[in-house]
Structure 1
Amino acid sequence: MTNRFLVTVGLLISVLGCNGDKPPLDNPSQGTIVVAADESFHPLVTQLTSAYSGIYPNTHFKIVFKPEQEAINMMLHDSARLVFATRTLKPNERAMLDQRKIKGATEKIATDGVALIINKANSDSLVTMNELSQIFSGKIKQWSQLKGGNQTGPITLVFDNNNSSNLEFVLNKFNTKDVRNLRIYTTRSNKEVIDFVRKNPSALGFIGVNWISDSDEPLSVELAQDLHVMGVSPKDNPLKRDDYFQPFQEDLGMQRYPLRRPVYILSRETHPGLGGGLINYIARDAGSLIIRKLGLWPRIPYDRVINLTK
């Protein structure tokens, strides 16, 4: 009996010792996870994760900014728990999670817009979708070819990265398959796109609107200086200024701005962890106030109750 008792105690100690070697699972109020995101969402992701960690000090987010496809690949290969992206998973990507029996989650959190920015010296601040289509087909190459244009020189299209969500979105929007005949210049970030446009009157830059739409953020205000944000019309022959729309909150929410796009969070979480906590905070809690503050349109508005007393 004594030997059997000692063996049993030894096995229990061994099991407990093995379990003790495993790090505890994260949960909505503590832990560390990796979050990947396209660089065009830098202000959005930074503010949302910082606000969440302010509420739960024991939570930590390691944020990695990559071109959208690379960010999604990180999540698929278990190098990131969450991804902020402009699209859902493709069938072949979904199959990779299915093979590992990971259900995951997809949550739309906002409507975003790709902003078209030009140099302050360029007064051609209005453009139609038809004109943009002709620019991306190579039929329009000069600023003087635009209706009412007074800027001279070739149109230089400026994007943040060869594989960015901004570039992919615009090319898909105008069904552009071949860019070899287009005057395209790529930088390394949305901020560098802004800097390039400031220095080049012939540039037409494409950025995520959250970089310049937060009037309470000093960096956002600074970046928006000395630029014009173009108004875009879905009509081929707009007759008045009201036929053009900009990528700011009301025109995004009312679905008037034609270069709007969704913002999703993609998750590979397999337990009720920190990733799920962040998603709930953003989609169903006060996180939507931050989305609104950034000038985007939250999918689920945050209800604020105001009590009026005499």
Structure 2
Amino acid sequence: MTAFWSCDNTQPKRAQTIVSGKVKVITDETLLPVMEEQVAVFEHLYDRTEVDMTSAQENQIINKLLNGEVEVAVLTRQLTARENEFFKKRKFTPRVYRFAIDAVAVVVNKQVSDSVITLDHLVKIMRGEETGAALNRLVFDNPNSSTVRFLKEIAGVDSLPPSGVYALKSNLDVLKYVYETPQSVGVVGVSWIVRPDNETKKYVEGIKVLAIKGRDGEPAGSGYYKPSQSNLADSLYALARPVYIINAEPRKSLGMGFAAHLTGESGQRVILKAGLLPDSIPPRELIIRE
């Protein structure tokens, strides 16, 4: 998607266009650090804009989108056929753009000797099966989060087991819990680890990211891989997932401009710095001196 606006500052600050006015955006909480950075860059580039960014769990975001409480959302999945049917009844189709590949990171306390884990091990925990290993307590951010839904889909289960899997309130809570509880395994969005803020940094310094081996027969099953950008690009990391911006504005407004930013060069560079894989990798110019 190509950015197509100018930086003309002749319009009033509150005029609702693709480069001015105010828009309310709700993002998946696992992506909050990188999306806060995106908002800061966007508002700096286009000083007549104001993006009201909030975060929530996946189920809450979908409900707000369908109820019309918010028109622009950032999710790690597309809308389902049933959800799209809701908009079809209103004779409207939301605009959906993929702009990144995210990694769900698996973390443990630095005191833990293990540095690797298999996807089969995680699946067994999700199914409530005995793993025979010390690392058998899986901690998520929230029972309604996208990471829980993602792992449930991989494990092929509809609900969490009565023991072995725990849900807190946020990604920060997971990092803090793993920092304080060596026998636990945390599941968080990778951007919470790559560029931590002052509050998060203490906990990030006390944990480590495990390398994961995927299923046999798949590229990610050929070895143990960490959630690096190169591994995401080569489809070697087992817990990778796409990131979308869903624009349900019935008119051309600031939501379209923000989507253009995310998919354009400036937004893709933010993605690159945040440790996710950009949907289109920004070019780099090399100056070769004689």
TM-score scaled to structure 2, two decimals?
0.87
Corresponding residue for residue 72 of structure 2: 82
Contact 1:213 1:248 (C-alpha < 8 Å) held by counterparts: no
User: What do residues 135-194 of structure 1 show as CA deviations (whole Å, max 9, x unaligned)?
Assistant: 2222225xxx24xxxx4xx72211111100011111111112242333222211100100
1:15-49 deviation per Cα after TM superposition (whole angstroms, max 9, x unaligned) = xxxxxxxxx76212211111011111110111111
Among candidates 203, 208, 229, match of residue 228 of structure 1: 208
Partner of 1:266: 246
1:190 is aligned to: 171
Aligned mates of 2:281, 2:138 — CA distance in 1:
35
Structure 1 residue 199: deviation in Å? 0.6
Paired amino acid for 2:35: V
- After TM superposition, the structure 1 = structure 2 runs for residues 28-39 of structure 1, keeping only pairs within 5 Å, are 28-39=18-29
| Alpha carbons 2:127, 2:161 under 8 Å: kept | no
Q: Please show how residues 1-310 of structure 1 align to structure 2 within 5 Å.
A: 26-141=16-131, 145-146=132-133, 151=134, 155-214=136-195, 221-234=201-214, 243-306=223-286, 308=288, 310=290
Q: Give the Cα separation in 1 of the matches to 2:116 and 2:126.
A: 16
Q: 2:75 and 2:44 mapped to 1: Cα distance?
A: 24
Tell me how far 1:236 sits from its aligned partner.
5.7
Instruction: Give the drift of 1:63.
Output: 1.5
- Aligned-partner SS, 1:212: helix
Tell me how far apart the structure 2 counterparts of residues 27 and 74 of structure 1 sit (CA, whole Å).
23
The equivalent of 2:8 in structure 1 is none
- Cα drift, residue 308 of structure 1: 4.5
Quickly say closer, same or farther: Cα 1:200–1:280, change in 2 above 3 A. Answer: same
Question: Kindly tell me: are residues 218 and 79 of structure 1, through their superposed partners in 2, closer, same or farther at Cα, counting changes over 3 Å?
Answer: same
For 2:202 and 2:235, how far apart are their aligned partners in 1? 28
Q: For 2:143, what is the secondary structure of its paired residue?
A: coil
What are the Cα deviations for residues 60-105 of structure 1, in whole angstroms up to 9, with x where unaligned?
A: 1111211112112212222112111011111111111112222221
Q: Is the 8 A contact 1:25 1:273 kept in 2?
A: no
CA contact (8 A) 2:125 2:138 kept: no
Distance in 1, matches of 2:182 and 2:286, equals 48
Contact 2:97 2:244 in 1 (8 A): yes
Q: 1:126 to 1:225 in 2, by over 3 A?
A: same
Tell me how far apart the structure 2 counterparts of residues 223 and 26 of structure 1 sit (CA, whole Å). 41
CA shift, 1:307, in A, is 5.3
In 2: Cα distance, 1:102 partner to 1:25 partner: 24
1:254 Cα deviation (Å)? 1.2
CA contact (8 A) 1:116 1:206 kept: yes
Question: Which whole-Å CA distance do the structure 1 matches of 2:246 and 2:60 have between them?
Answer: 13
SS of alignment partner, residue 47 of structure 1: helix
Q: Please tell me whether Structure 1 or Structure 2 has the larger radius of gyration of its CA atoms.
A: 1
Q: How far is the alpha carbon of 1:202 from its aligned partner?
A: 1.3
Query: What is the distance in 1 between the residues matched to 2:101 and 2:159?
Result: 28
Gaps of 5+ in 2: 1-13
Percent identity between the aligned chains?
27
Offset, 1:305: 4.0
Question: Are residues 138 and 203 of structure 1, via their aligned partners in 2, closer, same or farther at CA, if it must alter by over 3 Å?
Answer: same
TM-superposed CA distance for 1:131, in Å, is 1.9
Residues 75, 267 of structure 1: 8 Å contact kept: no
Q: TM-score, normalized by length of structure 1?
A: 0.82
Amino acid at match of 1:155: N
Number of positions where the alignment pairs a residue of Structure 1 with one of Structure 2: 274
Distance (Å, rounded) in 2 between the aligned partners of 1:30 and 1:270 = 17
CA contact (8 A) 1:37 1:45 kept: yes
Give the secondary structure class of the aligned counterpart of 2:194. Answer: coil
Residue range with higher mean Cα deviation, 88-97 or 300-309: 300-309
Give CA deviations for 1:253-274 in whole Å, capped at 9, x if unaligned: 2110001111111110222211
